[in-house]
Amino acid sequence: WLMHYAAEQRLACYVVGGCVRDWLLARPVGDIDLVVEGDAIALAEAWTTVWPDQLHTHPPFGTATVSWLDAGALVSLDLISARRESYPQPAALPIVQFARLADDLARRDFTINCLALQLANQPTNVIDPHNGLVDLQRGLIRVLHKRSFIDDPTRILRALRFAARLEFRLEPSTAELLQQGLPWLDQTTPARLWNELGLLLSEPSAFKALSLADEWGVLQQLCGCAWPQALNHQAQCLLPNLPNEQLAISWLLLMSQLSPNAAQAQTKRFGLPKPIRQAVGQWHALATTAAMLNTTLSAGKLDRLLSPFEPLVLQVWASTQTPLVQQQIAYYLQALRPIASQLSGRDLQAQGIKPGPEYKTLLAAARERQLDQFAAENPNLC
Ligand code: ATP
């Protein structure tokens, strides 16, 4: 329908960007971007009157997203009015004007991301005005012009993401331009940086990207920290047990390289959600227990010491500690934490004890005794 309608309206439409790149690399193609030389919103509206799919429009950018369910999965197509962008100052949002496909491709980040295919009835050649096909073959990431990273420093994080994901290298002059662009990261709003950083940390290649970010000086510039090689191994070992926690794991390990105050400041700066902010706070509080955990503790004492901490923080932190600490944390998480306390506040009330601050002490002491008894009865679990 789309092809027929576009031909009828004399609208030239092109599939562009990441989906062409991934199709040529024989990688799974994600969301599809369609550039329209004309009004993309009007085209999307015409589409959804015929096919009642979900429509979201973004008039200031002349873009629209149409989504539908395909075999239970939500698929979306972004329709973009071909546009030209100019940057009023470094790291600022661009000024947008409607234009032709060539202008739209020229505003993009890397040569491998500005390939296009015209939507047509017969097969057509790949449109490649910036020699992206050669770079795709050679495994190179190359910017289109010298000011690219200064205009939009988030492209530094995008370069990292593609380099790690596709196992590509920076073309040498792009590598130099990236170094020159690093100081401009400070001028970019944290929300825009996090938008890209969050994507990077959620990819399967996140830990590789962090190693590269360290090597390229991006981490130092972005949050004043490092990613030592040893953390790669630790992070990889943690993932099988915590498959949905990659972002939290990478952020915690990264923040563990900073002082408690600096780590909290970075976490707040990027506006990370409360559970991650709390996890960063707990990480540093846990560090103060390291000396105690390096001696063998009774089950009750271990439980009392570790119960204020989230299991995720305990697991990630343990991976950075001695075998004895790791053993004690594993014992706490697997054997002690799941045990429900036998004594409750209601029991104390039934015993005629008036509710008050001593409840906490009494309940904690009763739980400690209960767990010590459990450990004595189950020595094989220790
Ligand atoms: P992914 O496979 O992760 O979805 P993608 O290449 O499709 O990667 P998107 O972030 O979805 O990337 O962006 C779509 C396209 O828009 C890119 O291929 C690129 O051409 C362009 N683009 C996105 N962000 C920028 C940017 N900051 N500067 C220039 N072009 C960009």
Q: What pLDDT was estimated at residue 373?
A: 95
Q: What pLDDT was estimated at residue 142?
A: 98
pLDDT band at 371 (very low <50, low <70, confident <90, very high): very high
Average pLDDT score over residue span 186-198: 94
* Cβ of 196 less than 6 Å from ligand 1: no
Residue 136, CA atoms < 13 Å, CB-side half-sphere: 21
Question: What is the residue with the minimal CA distance to atom 26 of ligand 1?
Answer: 109
Q: List all residues 6 or more positions away from 287 whose beta carbon is below 8 Å from its beta carbon.
A: 317
* Cβ of 17 less than 6 Å from ligand 1: yes
Q: What pLDDT was estimated at residue 124?
A: 83
DSSP letters for 244-276:
T-HHHHHHHHHHTTS-HHHHHHHHHHTT--HHH
* Cβ of 109 less than 6 Å from ligand 1: yes
ipTM summary value:
0.98
Residue 24: which H helix or E strand, with range? helix 18-24
pLDDT digits (tens, 9 = 90+) for 131-185: 999 999 999 999 999 999 999 999 999 999 999 999 999 999 999 999 999 999 9
Closest CA to 91 of 146, 148, 142: 148
Is the model's pLDDT at 235 over the cut of 90? no
Give CA separation, 178 vs 11, 13, 67, 216, 217, in Å: 37, 33, 36, 9, 10
Share of the chain above pLDDT 90, in %: 66
pLDDT band at 381 (very low <50, low <70, confident <90, very high): confident
Q: What pLDDT was estimated at residue 164?
A: 97
pLDDT digits (tens, 9 = 90+) for 300-327: 999 999 999 999 999 999 988 999 999 9
Q: What pLDDT was estimated at residue 239?
A: 85
pLDDT digits (tens, 9 = 90+) for 19-78: 999 999 999 887 889 999 999 999 999 888 887 778 999 998 889 999 888 888 888 899
Please give the Cα distance from 62 to 223 (Å, whole number). 34
Give CA separation, 117 vs 18, 105, 211, 352, in Å: 12, 12, 34, 80
Is the model's pLDDT at 255 over the cut of 70? yes
Is the model's pLDDT at 85 over the cut of 90? no
Which two structure tokens, joined as six digits, stand for 295? 């001696």
**Cα 132 to ligand 1 centre (Å):** 14
Q: What pLDDT was estimated at residue 98?
A: 85
Average pLDDT score over residue span 113-132: 92
Residue 13: which H helix or E strand, with range? strand 13-16
* Choice from 79, 108, 168, 201 to test ligand 1 binding pocket (greatest atom count within 8 A of CB): 108
Q: What pLDDT was estimated at residue 154?
A: 97
Is the model's pLDDT at 231 over the cut of 70? yes
Give CA separation, 306 vs 165, 258, 299, 353, in Å: 37, 23, 11, 28
Question: CA angle 66-68-74, nearest 5°?
Answer: 110
* Cβ of 113 less than 6 Å from ligand 1: yes
Please give the Cα distance from 356 to 353 (Å, whole number). 9
The four Cα atoms 277, 280, 282, 287 give a dihedral, to 10 degrees, of: -170
Q: Which residue has better confidence, 167 or 357?
A: 167
pLDDT band at 264 (very low <50, low <70, confident <90, very high): very high
pLDDT band at 342 (very low <50, low <70, confident <90, very high): very high
Q: What pLDDT was estimated at residue 91?
A: 83
Share of the chain above pLDDT 70, in %: 100
Average pLDDT score over residue span 204-214: 94
Question: What is the residue with the minimal CA distance to atom 27 of ligand 1?
Answer: 155
**Cα 122 to ligand 1 centre (Å):** 27
Q: What pLDDT was estimated at residue 382?
A: 66
Q: What pLDDT was estimated at residue 305?
A: 95
For the stretch 214-219, contacts whose Cβ atoms lie closer than 8 Å and that sit 24 or more positions apart, written own/partner, are: 216/156, 216/160, 216/175, 216/178, 216/179, 217/179, 217/182, 218/156, 218/157, 218/160, 218/182, 218/185, 219/254
Please give the Cα distance from 242 to 205 (Å, whole number). 16
Kind of pairing, strands 54-58 and 32-36? unpaired
Q: Which residue has better confidence, 289 or 130?
A: 130
Q: List all residues 6 or more positions away from 109 whose beta carbon is below 8 Å from its beta carbon.
A: 143, 144, 148, 152, 155, 158, 159
Q: What pLDDT was estimated at residue 86?
A: 85
Q: What is the pTM of this model?
A: 0.89
